[in-house]
Amino acid sequence: MSVTTERLRPAVRVGPTSWRLHPRAVLCSVVAAVLVAVLLVVDLAYGDLKIPFVDVVRALLGDSSGVNAFIVRDVRLPEAAVALLAGLALGLSGALIQTIARNPLASPDVIGVNAGAAAGAVGYIVLFAAADTGAPSGISADLAIPAAAFAGALIATALLYAAGWRRGLDGRRLVLVGIGIAAALTACTSWLLVAARLQTAASAQVWLSGSLNGVTSSNALWLLGVFVIVAPVALWQGSSLNIVELGDDTAHALGVRPGRAQAVALLCAVLLAAVAVSAVGPIGFVAFVCPQIARRLAGTSRPPLLTSALAGAGLVLVADVITRLWLTGLAVGVVTSLVGAPYFIYLLIRTQKDPS
Amino acid sequence: MTQTTVEAHEVKQSANGRLVADQVTVGYGEEPVVHDVSLRIPDGKVTTIIGPNGCGKSTLLRTLSRLLTPSSGTVVLDGAPIGSRSAKQLARTLALLPQSPIAPEGLLVRDLVGRGRHPHQRWFQQWSHGDEEIVTDAMRWTGILDLADRPVDALSGGQRQRVWIAMTLAQHTDLVLLDEPTTYLDLAYQVDVLDLVCRLNRERGATVAMVLHDLNLAVRFSDHLVVMRAGRLVAQGDPGQILTAELLMEVFGLDADIVADPRTGIPMVVPRGQKTGG
């Protein structure tokens, strides 16, 4: 193995294989990974009972003896794991969509994935859970709402493909059509809430604000399963996305079929966002803000996929810690939106000033 | 005029040409933009397609590079239909610089030029010593080595066009197609870019085909001229031979004299404006 620092780019070469290194981006992802690990430990340590960090780490590494280990592994880990995985999935999803749309304003929440999931979940809560009979037989209750949300998100995406795809994918068209679909689906959700009984509407509202309360280990496993399958496919697209961002014509000229690369990336992004949102509710702005933060930190031309995912995990974990320690009763989604909304406005203003 | 005007089917073919259009008709909607065009891009030469706005010259170039698929007829490269190879295979033989390529915000010159290596790379082989050498060479040759660490979007139009040409060069192909490489550039930069394109041909032996807007520059920098009007081929051949006042009137509706450049003898188009004409 050799690591060379030539004039252009340092590279790692082992036998016939070779990889290019972007030192600042690599440093960013390492630092982000360490931060996320620390945040995970903090998230597991704080709660009604403070558990020493040492015990948390020991429990995470496999020690299952004692009360502290029980609290960490069986009580708190599902929620923390869902926060971690949902954050990773949302960050990666946002990075993919912003790259293929060539637009920093695009993200799964903007193009209607969240709205679709919300309509699905609220529809299920109002139509089935309201009947006081619990879930329909055969589906366990804690997976029924996520399943409905997932279906809703996929239907929204199908609409987006049908209306937004014209011999390829145009970023502006994708965003505009997506905003339209999101608005229509949000209207559906509002109508369902108005039509529902007060008590049902209240429980639907809790889900809508994006909450980690009440997530179970089956949520975490479902999320982990989808992430482990989809994330490698998405990361695999990295070098093609480098070419796609140069424009459709240049991509063709360099031997990449942009339509295919974009379709694969969009599908990955939607699956990741849908599974995350179905588990935790429509947590806002994570998928939108984190890729842009990661891009600025790493100094790359498009959002770096891995760092964006880690930034997403970091933001959701921070929000989870904040809601547990100081803003008890406030949903995680509210905190992430509080951080994200001002940034969204800032980007909008900046984009208007700079026509490119 | 009569011997240089070509009927669509009886193209006078140069001896050698790897890239051939055979009775190609192509359009975006119902109306074809290019009608039944046959031509052969001569190997080892600089070919320029000219014609008035909307005559289909860019469409023809895009079809030759497989960005567009003809509705009838075929484009043939090395004896096989151009559609028969994979996108990556084609990109190792034929490079295209599109009219308005996008340089993402913050992308560094060396990284953009490096992306020209993509058709030669695989997922486990992304930055070999060869890649490094070829990219460095492409930047040195185009005179942008000093700009390697600058973001592309911070460069002037002329510098940026050099960077794109360096990327095309890093692709290491025998055929290079350029769609209006001088658009939006000042005259000095236009000449600069076309000098570079000619060196690409003379020093590196690349076959070049491009679309240009400016008649005088087209004549000056090409070995072979292809003249189009309303989607059809009107004339092709050596610029010095085919460029006549009649042709300019027929194709461009331009009343102009053709005079020889006092220094090089290359023909120049001098329009008779209203003010001085008559």
Residue B147 to residue A222: CA distance in whole angstroms: 49
Cβ of residue A15 closer than 8 Å to a chain B Cβ: no
pLDDT in tens, A314-356: 999 988 888 888 877 677 888 888 877 787 777 667 655 544 4
Cβ of residue A254 closer than 8 Å to a chain B Cβ: yes
User: Is A17 within 8 Å of B129 when comparing Cβ atoms?
Assistant: no
Closest in A18, A102, A301 to B128, CB measured: A18
Q: Which amino acid is at B267?
A: P
Residue of A nearest to B95 (CA): A253
Classify the phi-psi angles of A57: left when phi > 0, otherwise alpha if psi is within -120 to 50, otherwise beta.
Answer: alpha
User: Is A246 within 8 Å of B128 when comparing Cβ atoms?
Assistant: no
User: Is B128 within 8 Å of A7 when comparing Cβ atoms?
Assistant: no
Taking the CA of residue B136 and the nearest CA in chain A, the distance in Å comes to: 7
Cβ of residue A255 closer than 8 Å to a chain B Cβ: yes
Chain B residues with CB under 8 Å of A302 CB are 104
Neighbours of B158 (CB within 10 A): 16
Of A351 and B200, the one with more pLDDT = B200
CB B22 within 8 A of CB B73: yes
User: Is A252 within 8 Å of B89 when comparing Cβ atoms?
Assistant: no
Residue of B nearest to A243 (CA): B115
Residue B123 has pLDDT above 70, yes or no: yes
Torsions phi, psi of B86, nearest 5?
-75, 160
Q: Which residues have CB under 8 Å from A64's CB, separation 6+?
A: A70, A73
From A278-282, B91-95, B176-180, B215-219, the region with the lowest mean pLDDT: A278-282
Residue A316 to residue A58: CA distance in whole angstroms: 23
Neighbours of B26 (CB within 10 A): 23
H helix or E strand, kind and range, residue A57? helix A53-60
Judged on CB neighbours under 10 Å (0-12, 13-18, 19+), A354 is: exposed
Residue A220 to residue B221: CA distance in whole angstroms: 65
Residue of A1, A7, A8 to mutate for B, most B C-beta atoms under 10 A: A8
Q: DSSP 3-state helix, strand, coil percentages of chain B (rounded to 5)?
A: 35, 25, 40
Task: Tell me the three state secondary structure of residue B73.
Answer: strand
CB B150 within 8 A of CB B122: no
User: Is B124 within 8 Å of A17 when comparing Cβ atoms?
Assistant: yes
SS (H, E, C) A272-332: HHHHHHHHHCCCCCHHHHHHHHHHHHHCCCCCCHHHHHHHHHHHHHHHHHHHHHCCCCCCH
Which residue, A104, A87, A61, is CA-closest to A231? A87
CATH 3.30.9.10 fits A23-350, yes or no: no
Residue of A nearest to B89 (CA): A255
**Own/partner pairs for A20-23, CB < 8 Å, 24+ apart?**
A20/B114, A20/B126, A20/B127, A22/A298, A22/A300
Residue A29 to residue A16: CA distance in whole angstroms: 26
Which residue, B213, B204, B209, is CA-closest to B224? B209
Residue A302 to residue A291: CA distance in whole angstroms: 9
Which residue, A81, A82, A110, is CA-closest to A270? A110
In percent, the amount of chain B with pLDDT more than 70 equals: 93
Cβ of residue A260 closer than 8 Å to a chain B Cβ: no
Taking the CA of residue A35 and the nearest CA in chain B, the distance in Å comes to: 26
- pLDDT for the residue numbered B219: 92
Highest mean pLDDT among A41-45, A161-165, B128-132: A41-45
- The residue-averaged pLDDT of A142-155 equals 84
Supply the Cα-derived Rg of chain B in whole angstroms. Answer: 19
- The residue-averaged pLDDT of A68-79 equals 84
Chain A residues with CB under 8 Å of B67 CB are 249, 252-253
Chain A residues with CB under 8 Å of B103 CB are 246
CB B101 within 8 A of CB A250: yes
Biggest alpha carbon distance in chain B? 68
- The residue-averaged pLDDT of B10-29 equals 74
Q: What is the ipTM of this complex?
A: 0.84
Token pair, residue A234, equals 């998405």
Which residue, B260, B256, B166, B169, is CA-closest to B219? B260
From A117-126, A144-153, A167-176, the region with the lowest mean pLDDT: A167-176
- pLDDT for the residue numbered B234: 92
Chain A stretch 87-116, residues whose beta carbon is closer than 8 A to a beta carbon of chain B: 102
Residue A337 to residue A149: CA distance in whole angstroms: 20
Chain A residues with CB under 8 Å of B148 CB are 7-8
Taking the CA of residue A140 and the nearest CA in chain B, the distance in Å comes to: 42
Taking the CA of residue A21 and the nearest CA in chain B, the distance in Å comes to: 9
Q: Which amino acid is at B56?
A: G
